[in-house]
């Protein structure tokens, strides 16, 4: 049988993550916000945020770091877990909406810092849906390109550095990165993907100056439009209805039953939303995993960070059916179903 006759599938062979070392508790964040906004009653505000989300603290990288510095560290962890040398990586796909630059792509910076000299790269920019989207893209690359062996997929987030000092929504932002190495296998690992989007929400939350819509000017920078801005709320049903929809599509397209799911990991922004969605799907909370209470909302990185944490804590085993669902501003939603090797 020739090489082209062998069935090719893509599977995850190693995961990793990086959490930086500067702890920012809710109490210290409230103190900071009170200093820059005296009399605003930040203790009460932060207390309400904590009750709604479950987030108790987050972690910041040094302020002279960039997103690529986080990504490289998570990438190394995943490569070590997979037993793969950076020089053996064929492709790096990086998902983030807090890039080092508007251009060039952050993935090329990661390739250079990682020493993955033979790897091609590209970025995926659909906010917190980026990691599942990148996993699906990596699977397609491996299956259709017979010369490929390894793809490194990374989700990284450093939105804390792009938020204004007096922005109370910095409550959410924690820095971090998560990664996975995908490789060719003769048995299915990656099963299927699902996507959902509604661009009518694109003005609700984002960074609106610095691109072609509004090139950065002194005026736009001074007005804070070159920083991340929360403009309007998303209705709860965006996630409460969108996430179950994505999972049900995965089950239909992947040929499995919902009760066959061993682990479901969702965007780590609000524990109450995860509980609502698990109940909708008829799945017990033992079949999900969350990390936002101690790590904050790590955006594009939260799904791979939660995945790696679940693997390291023995909550995911060989042969388990795992679904990953990411939901990001725009809005974009994406999910993948995986059979763990």
Q: Which pLDDT tens digit goes with each residue over 176-231?
A: 999 999 999 999 999 999 999 999 999 999 999 999 999 999 999 999 999 999 99
Length of the chain: 341
Q: Percent of the chain beyond pLDDT 70?
A: 98
- CATH, domain 191-339, list 3.40.47.10, 3.40.640.10, 3.40.80.10, 3.10.20.30: 3.40.47.10
Residue 64 is given by DSSP the state T
Q: Is the dihedral of CA 17, 18, 23, 27 positive or negative?
A: negative
Distance of CA 329 to the CA centre of its chain: 12
Is the pTM here over 0.85, yes or no?
Answer: yes
* CATH class of segment(s) 3-187: alpha beta
pLDDT band at 1 (very low <50, low <70, confident <90, very high): very low
For residue 6, pLDDT over 70 is answered with no
Q: Mean pLDDT across the stretch 300-328?
A: 98
Q: Whole-angstrom Cα distance, residue 287 to residue 16? A: 21
Residue 206 is given by DSSP the state E
CA distances from 187 to 190, 250, 335 (A): 9, 19, 20
Q: Whole-angstrom Cα distance, residue 33 to residue 3? A: 61
In this chain, the answer to whether the domains covering 3-187 and 191-339 adopt an identical fold is: yes
Q: Where are the domains of the chain?
A: 3-187, 191-339
pLDDT band at 40 (very low <50, low <70, confident <90, very high): confident
15 and 153 in contact (C-beta within 8 Å)? no
Q: Mean pLDDT across the stretch 272-293?
A: 98
For all residues of the chain together, what is the average pLDDT? Answer: 96
pLDDT band at 5 (very low <50, low <70, confident <90, very high): low
The burial class, CB within 10 Å (0-12 / 13-18 / 19+), for 38 is: exposed
97 and 127 in contact (C-beta within 8 Å)? yes
Structure tokens at 322: 């795992």
For residue 74, pLDDT over 50 is answered with yes
Structure tokens at 16: 């990793």
Nearest Cα residue to 341 out of 15, 47, 3: 15
75 and 17 in contact (C-beta within 8 Å)? no
Which residue in this structure is represented by tokens 């960039």? 66
For residue 2, pLDDT over 50 is answered with no
- Long-range residue pairs from 136-141, CB within 8 A, at least 24 positions apart, any chain: 136/190, 136/193, 136/334, 136/336, 137/93, 138/10, 138/91, 138/93, 138/182, 139/10, 139/182, 139/189, 139/190, 139/336, 140/10, 141/91
**Sequence-separated (6 or more) residues with CB below 8 Å from residue 273:** 236, 239, 240, 243, 266
């Amino acid at each position: 049988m020739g090489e082209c006759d062998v069935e090719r599938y893509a599977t995850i062979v190693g995961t990793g993550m990086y959490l930086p070392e500067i702890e920012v508790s809710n109490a210290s964040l409230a103190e900071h916000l009170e200093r820059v906004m005296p009399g605003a009653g930040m203790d009460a505000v932060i207390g309400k945020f904590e009750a709604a989300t479950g987030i108790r603290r987050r972690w910041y990288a040094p302020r002279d770091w960039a997103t690529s510095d986080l990504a490289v560290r998570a990438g190394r962890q995943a490569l070590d877990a997979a037993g793969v040398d950076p020089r053996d990586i064929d492709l790096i796909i990086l998902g983030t909406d807090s890039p080092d630059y508007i251009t060039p792509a952050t993935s090329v910076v990661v390739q250079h810092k990682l020493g993955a000299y033979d790897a091609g790269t590209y970025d995926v920019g659909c906010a917190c849906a980026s990691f599942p989207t990148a996993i699906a893209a990596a699977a397609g690359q491996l299956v259709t390109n017979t010369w490929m062996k390894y793809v490194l997929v990374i989700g990284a987030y450093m939105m804390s550095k792009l938020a204004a000092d007096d922005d109370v929504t910095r409550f959410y932002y924690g820095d971090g990165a998560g990664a996975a190495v995908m490789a060719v296998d003769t048995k299915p690992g990656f099963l299927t993907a699902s996507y959902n989007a509604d661009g009518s929400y694109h003005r609700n939350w984002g960074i609106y100056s610095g691109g072609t819509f509004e090139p950065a000017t002194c005026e736009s920078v001074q007005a804070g439009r070159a920083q991340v801005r929360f403009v309007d709320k998303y209705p709860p049903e965006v996630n409460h209805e969108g996430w179950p929809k994505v999972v049900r599509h995965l089950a239909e397209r992947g040929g499995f039953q919902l009760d066959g799911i061993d682990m479901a990991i969702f965007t780590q922004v609000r524990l109450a939303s995860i509980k609502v969605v698990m109940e909708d799907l008829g799945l017990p909370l033992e079949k999900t995993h969350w990390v936002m209470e101690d790590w904050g909302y790590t955006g594009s990185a939260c799904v791979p960070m939660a995945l790696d944490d679940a693997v390291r804590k023995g909550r995911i085993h060989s042969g388990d059916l795992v679904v990953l669902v990411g939901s990001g501003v725009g809005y974009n939603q994406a999910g993948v179903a995986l059979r763990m090797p």
